[in-house]
Structure 1
Amino acid sequence: MSYKSDRPTFHERLDHFVNVIRTDILNGIKQEGTYLPSESALAKQYQLSNKSIRKGLDQLVEEGLIVKIDRVGSMVTRHSRESVTINYGCPLSLTSDFMIDDLIAEFSRRNPGIHVRRITLNPLGYVRSAEEMMQNGLLDVVAFNSPQFQEWNELGLTPLLEELETDKAMYPITESAFRIGDKVYARPVSFSPVVLCYNKQHFREADIPEPDSYWSWDDLIEATSRLAAIRGRHGIYFLPASENRYSIFLLQGGKGSKHMPDGGSRLNMLEGLDKLNELINNRRIFPNYWAQGNDETIRLFAEGQVSAILATYFNLNEFAHMDFEYDICPLPSLHRGDPQKTLMLSIGTALVHHSPSKEAASRFMEFLSSADAQMLIREKTVSIPARKEAAEASRDSGGLNRPSRYSMFREMLPSYFYHKEIGLQMQELRIFSRFLKEYWSGMIDVNVLYERLEELMIQSKEGEQFKPVVEHS
């Protein structure tokens, strides 16, 4: 099976085309009553196909900015500048996570006087980028995932957002990601646990039982070792340094410490790190491969290079139109019989407190969490809507390649935990990821790695900024 994902590049070019035309119209550069260049000229200018250009033009038609006149062209509509434009800051990944462009188009159809300008925020330094744009009056609504909002709160930036009322139609745990005390600052749109995703055909052909909720990491290591021996390929892969992956093992290790026979103590979460290191240092099952991002992990799995990956429901959208057998199950635990624990990611939208178009921005934010929008997410993607009614809807249209255990997330709810429940701030987790890379690269040994984590935990508890010890040779 070959795998090719050019979605980000395509969406970036299409997004750029629509944004340029929209901005030129709203700013009066392309005046009312004038015509846009021909589809073929636009395709050449923006390096898109004629079909893609038509898709972009259809979006502008839906927004009421242009009309298509047969055999003449696309004309800028009159009175277009009388509409309200709201700026929506979000990551590019939302185009696949829950088809944000389709949701924006549907909102525009229902609210012809409101235009939503999607602004892609830099994934590196997302929080600071959003803050800067808000301070300069360039955002009205902004998307956050749960770790981004945690960082936002840790930096003391919540006053930049409007306080919201609780929406009881949402899963309570999704809203808790954006709750500070008794105040809510973002409306949930979608969520996902991190799960184990595996190739059903590989397990069947090797005559190995499929993973289930009772598996420990040792069970997974044993099964993927057998798979590797039979298939001659590695068994499992994930990006170890990702804060959404190594944090799982810190979480499963647990808080607190235990007394050792020598009279000392050891952090419980170090047991989780022991298992992580055992797993990724096993070259029979785990490739010595440093992916540049999650897309490469998805590619390795889709091409059959590995039999299992750690993934979210958002990632499963990459398989929605592929013809191969895969399924999901809860993550293994450290020991058989341990309570299940997995990392939870929620995505929500927040209203900028000083937005000059607060009424229109609020309407858009509420639409994304509305019953209709949430059902669109359920029907058109593999992602989980935050609205309970939509997430648990029985109808399943669109012919998407969903895992047979799609509804498993409902039974897993008690096992969900956010990054904040690890006991480290997001900045401290990123510092620790640097130490992990140094250890895996052979620059420091495991004892130094664990000392660094203990220092981080102590200083985090005391509210101090981390200052690593500098060793001199």
Structure 2
Amino acid sequence: MSYKLDRPSFQERLDYFVNVIRTDIINGIRQDGTYLPAESALAKQYQLSNKSIRKGLDQLVEEGLIQKIDRVGSMVTPRPKASITLNFGCPISLTTDFLIDDLIAEFGRRNPGIHVRRITLNHLSYAQSAQEMIDNGLLDVVAFNSPQFQEWTEEGLVPLLEKLESDPDIYPIAEEAFIVDGVSYAKPISFSPVVLCYNKRHFREAGIHEPDSYWTWSDLMRESTRLSKARGRHGIYFLPASENRYPVFLLQGMNRRPSGANGREPGDDMQRGLQALNGLIGNREVFPNYWAQGNDETVQLFAEGQVSVILCTYFNLNEFAHLPLEYDICPLPSLQRGDPQRTLLLSIGMSLVRHSKWKEAARRFVDFLASADAQNVIRERTASIPARKASAEQPTAEGRNQPSRYAMFREMFPSFSYHRDLGLQIKDLKQFTKWLKEYWSDMIDADTLRIKLGELYGKGLKPGESDTSVDEIAHR
């Protein structure tokens, strides 16, 4: 994520300085044997004191990335000429999701003959950009999250990847997203369900009990109304059109009965979830009429106290690590009392390109990221959940602002669902996202939205055809 407070804390500024210099060195922007700017210049550039700059430089010295030359300056450490350079394609979010640059640096220290070059792939056309680079021999390892890998599979691109051995020490559900015809094509590194994140102080000051797994969305709306009245601010927010948020409501709508039971299609029961979604985001007393550019802005609204509750992942919690924010998490509400819990799961894995020139070195890098050493770094230094069981179940590290309910994911496994459980291809989900935006903008009506959703499932509903759950869609 790119979100930072207007007045970032000292630790955030220091971490940012170290991360920028580290990344520049790893990616060859600052070449071996060259010198960093003077400490005074770095202090001015990164809004830190000279003492703080020295502290950051000392950390880079410990990592073996720079050497301090007395009376001369800080020199980028000359490294043994790498005989192998691995090209690693991934989204920029991995720098905060689980400190990928730190892990790359550690891998380099352990494998001095292998240099890993991180390449940021276009998140808007991830599969296409990864495919083009693989076809041109420009990638050795590529990272996927679960919906990206689903799209990759649907596009018939799995043969571009190497088959991998399953690891019994990895949570099986984290690996499920990357299994095709019984074969794994990615090693899971981290995963997260979508959860409810709330400001404990806001609830306490309003005299409202904190949310728990017994809550329904109606309970959340009722208590959010009380929060809004008590604080003069909105109660809850998430980006409605996010394909990692609104599908939660579609999945919960499918809880009524197995898909296709009693002659009904999945799209019919999804209308039940849409009814709850539209009722929530259409309530201007609790939900602001705010169109964020991404989930970063949702996190910012929460961090600034503009809203009291958000839908987020464990990855998002990394933005709160150094903030004086009193918060916690709990499972998402259900549509109705007694419904089984259900939420969306995101898994991140690393795939080995089948025709990589440096396949064994690439395999070593992938294995390292899934190793106990790397997974322990994720657990100790982030709020993300490692895919390795023993690492994930370690006690929460001190000195980081992490939720007291961090370990609740261990009890939530039965509620986890992937995007594929919607029964839609990713291209269809993207099309439905467009229709939802049109509906929320009053460009199409509820009946048209109902028909379009039916078309995705091949029902071809006609205008005026009756379906109780469809006709109950709440209007804004």
Interval of TM-score (by shorter of Structure 1 and Structure 2): 0.7 to 0.9
Q: 1:139 Cα shift? A: 1.2
1:145-224 correspondence to structure 2 within 5 Å: 145-224=145-224
Q: 1:97 to 1:127 in 2, by over 3 A?
A: same
Contact 2:253 2:271 in 1 (8 A): yes
| Deviations 1:311-339, CA, capped at 9 Å, x for gaps | 10000111111112111111011101100
Contact 1:200 1:327 in 2 (8 A): yes
Map of 1:256 onto structure 2: 259
Q: 1:136 to 1:16 in 2, by over 3 A?
A: farther
Q: 1:189 to 1:53 in 2, by over 3 A?
A: farther
Q: 1:12 to 1:143 in 2, by over 3 A?
A: farther
1:331-346 correspondence to structure 2 within 5 Å: 331-346=332-347
Q: What 5-or-longer segments of structure 1 have no aligned partner?
A: 461-473
SS at match of 2:234: coil
Distance 1:353 1:57 in 2: 40
Moved more, 108-117 or 220-229: 108-117
| Deviations 1:18-63, CA, capped at 9 Å, x for gaps | 44785478xxxx6x7x544644699599989787799689769957
Map of 1:387 onto structure 2: 388
Q: 1:69 Cα shift? A: 2.9
Contact 1:313 1:383 in 2 (8 A): yes
Distance 1:257 1:397 in 2: 46
Q: Which amino acid aligns with 1:325?
A: E
Q: 1:100 Cα shift? A: 1.0
* Structure 2 residue 285 is matched with structure 1 residue 284: yes
Q: TM-score, normalised by structure 1?
A: 0.86
| Deviations 1:105-140, CA, capped at 9 Å, x for gaps | 221221122111111112211111111111111111
Contact 2:64 2:77 in 1 (8 A): no
Query: Taking every aligned residue pair, what percent have the same amino acid on both sides?
Result: 58
Distance 1:337 1:426 in 2: 30
Q: 1:424 to 1:35 in 2, by over 3 A?
A: closer
Moved more, 43-52 or 316-325: 43-52
Q: 1:246 Cα shift? A: 0.9
Q: 1:63 to 1:126 in 2, by over 3 A?
A: farther
Distance 1:14 1:226 in 2: 42
Map of 2:371 onto structure 1: 370
Map of 1:400 onto structure 2: 400
Equivalent residue pairs, number: 448
Q: Which amino acid aligns with 1:110?
A: R
SS at match of 2:307: coil
SS at match of 2:124: coil
Contact 2:259 2:265 in 1 (8 A): no
| Deviations 1:177-233, CA, capped at 9 Å, x for gaps | 100011100000000000011111111111111111111111111110111122111
How much is the aligned-residue C-alpha RMSD, in angstroms? 3.2
Map of 2:241 onto structure 1: 241
Distance 2:201 2:44 in 1: 45
Contact 1:35 1:73 in 2 (8 A): no
* Structure 2 residue 104 is matched with structure 1 residue 101: no
Contact 2:368 2:374 in 1 (8 A): yes
Distance 1:67 1:266 in 2: 61
Q: 1:264 Cα shift? A: 12
Q: Which amino acid aligns with 2:366?
A: M
Distance 1:230 1:425 in 2: 43
Distance 1:361 1:193 in 2: 29
SS at match of 1:96: helix
Distance 2:211 2:456 in 1: 35
SS at match of 2:169: coil
Q: 1:140 to 1:442 in 2, by over 3 A?
A: same
* Structure 2 residue 419 is matched with structure 1 residue 419: yes
Q: Which amino acid aligns with 1:375?
A: N
Q: 1:297 Cα shift? A: 0.4
Q: TM-score, normalised by structure 2?
A: 0.86
